[in-house]
Structure formats: structure tokens, C-alpha cells
Amino acid sequence: MKDHHEVVLVSSGAVAEGISRLGWLIKPRSVNHLQAAASVGQVGLVAAYESAFQQHGTNTSQVLLTHDDLSNRTRYLNARSTINTLLELGIVPIVNENDTVATAEIQFGDNDTLASLVTNLLEANLLIILTDQSGLYSLDPRVSKDAKLITEGNASDRELEKMAGSNPGSHLGSGGMFTKILAAKRAAKSGANTIIASGKEKNILTRLVGGERIGTSLKANTIPLDAKRQWLADHLKVRGYVTVDEGATAALLKKGKSLLPIGIESVEGDFARGDLISCIGSGRREIARGLANYSSNETKKLLKTPSNKIEEVLGYIAEEELIHRNNLVLI
């Protein structure tokens, strides 16, 4: 941009624009109608942004993503390279979920999640989420006169999630304030701060960039994860779960070790070698995620098995670890 800020715009609205263009009065429920609306709406959405930015001599591009694009390591890296190249060329990428082909299995679910994942993807410094509220309130301002605006906080503070509750979004949208708090928490993993503010404020972006305090500012107070561990933590869908004993928990959390089959107590889900699985400790608390070296069926056979007995149990050995520490991220 002209003031030397690189900007990526993550936009919703394709389905809503399509519904409007098609003259429908309500949002359809069937997948094929939603995808048709997205296909029609994406044309209008990009045209609107292109027209607006052209008035300022700036070009835009369209980047359509599904969860599959970010869960596949090669496509993830390609997406990052493409967007970074666009930024180097002075172009503003308009990122939108590819609702035309997205299904429940591969969709992000809401635009706040997509924005936070793009923040991680690019290791951006700041995530700005514009909404129809002035920011996060202590109570729902639509029903309580005692609601107070939270001007600042830490993205990892679980009390913020309680304040946000699970308020529904608009009749056309899919995300409420709760998803915005989760997005801030996710963005903090790559070191990005988050600001949640009203999109109705005049010149909101230039004022925020200029340092004006508007809305809710949530700081990233955690040590940023490296790029690969960000990908493991948030860009892949969990395919299964393993319950680990106290010894394995200590090895993971305190010693930075790999997860060995001998520390596994139970297996849930159906996963294949290379899938992301979650490690559950005492109290059903998730302590780590990582890429499995064995399938769920193989892992069940290896419960409490020492690594030197793997070949004896399975008839072969792929790796000594169920999850190698290089493919594991602590939660």
C-alpha cells in the first residue's frame, strides 16, 4: 500500500451477494443452492472490491481457499508463496472461502477462522476483525444495559471466551463474537495481535494504523510457534485421539520427547499414517497434536508396547515413535 503497509483483505459476502442477485428472500439450507449462490456472488464481490480499489490506483486479486488447501502441506506453501508474491507486486489479495466447492468436510465454517489461519499462514503482525459491534463487551450489549466495552486484554485469556459466549451471527453470516475471540487466540500463535472493532466507524483502518485506540485490542502474550508447528496446530483437521499415561505426558510437556507406543492407553477415531491426531492427558485435557506414524488399527495393537517390540507385534516397523517430536506441537 502507499503508506508501506502490506494488506490482505479476508472477505465474506459471496453467498450473501449471490442470494441478493438471485432474488432469494432467505438463505437456503441445501449445499447445492449455497454453492450456486456463492458462484454467482463471487463475481459481484470481486467486482465491487476491484472497482473500489481502482479509484485509488491499486490492483486487487482473488484468492479462493478451502480447508484442504491449507491442510495439504504443498498447497499450503504454494498459497503462502502466491500471496506473498502478490504483496510484493503491490496488489491487495482478496481472500474468500471457496464456497462454490466447499463442503462440511473441507470448509472453514466462518470467516473469522479463515482470517486467523491466513494471519498464521503469512505470519502477519496484526489481525483486524471488523464487525457490527464496537468490540467485545462484558455482557451481550443487545440485551444488557450493564454491558461494558473491553478495550484491551490477552488473546489467551479464557475469560474472554466466557464473555463472548456463543452469540449467533447475522441471518446471512455464520460467525459471532465467540469465533472472533477464538480467531484472536489462534492468530496469537504466530505472534499477531488482534483488534476487534466496528466496520461502521469512519476511516477505521487508517485510524487504527495511526495508533488510535478503537474497539477491543487483544495482545499475543505467547511465544510464537514456528511455521511448521502453526500448520500442525491449526491448519489440519484432527482425525483421531490417543489417551496418554502420566509418563508420556511428562515426556511430552517437560522433556520435549517424542510420543512412544508404550505411553498410549487408548485410541479413538479412524486415522491413517500421516494423519493429525490429538494426544489426551488426564482429565480429558488435550496436551499435544502430531502426525501419526501408524494407523488407528495399528496403534490399537501397539498399546503399551515398547518400541523394540513393534516389529514383533506388527510384523514390521515404520518408526520407533507413534509421533516424532519434529512432527508434534504442544497445545
What are the extents of the domains in the chain?
Answer: 9-229, 238-330
Distance separating alpha carbons of residues 289 and 286, to the nearest angstrom: 8
Helix, coil or strand: residue 299:
helix
CA-closest candidate to residue 107, choices 35, 185, 176 = 35
Residues 54-63: tens digit of each pLDDT: 999 999 999 9
Longest distance between any two alpha carbons in the chain, whole Å: 70
**pTM score, whole prediction:** 0.73
Residues 106-146: tens digit of each pLDDT: 356 678 989 999 998 898 999 999 998 899 998 888 788 88
Pairing of the two strands 193-198 and 216-219: antiparallel
| CATH architecture for segment(s) 238-330 | Roll (2.30)
Cell numbers standing for residue 303: 498399546
Residue 310 has pLDDT above 80, yes or no: yes
As a dihedral over the C-alpha atoms of residue 164, residue 120, residue 111, residue 68, rounded to 10 degrees, the angle is: -130
- What per-residue confidence (pLDDT) applies to 111? 86
Residues 256-297: tens digit of each pLDDT: 999 999 999 999 999 999 889 999 999 999 999 999 999 999
Residue 214 has pLDDT above 80, yes or no: yes
Residue 174 has pLDDT above 60, yes or no: no
- What per-residue confidence (pLDDT) applies to 204? 95
Please state which CATH class domain 9-229 belongs to: alpha beta
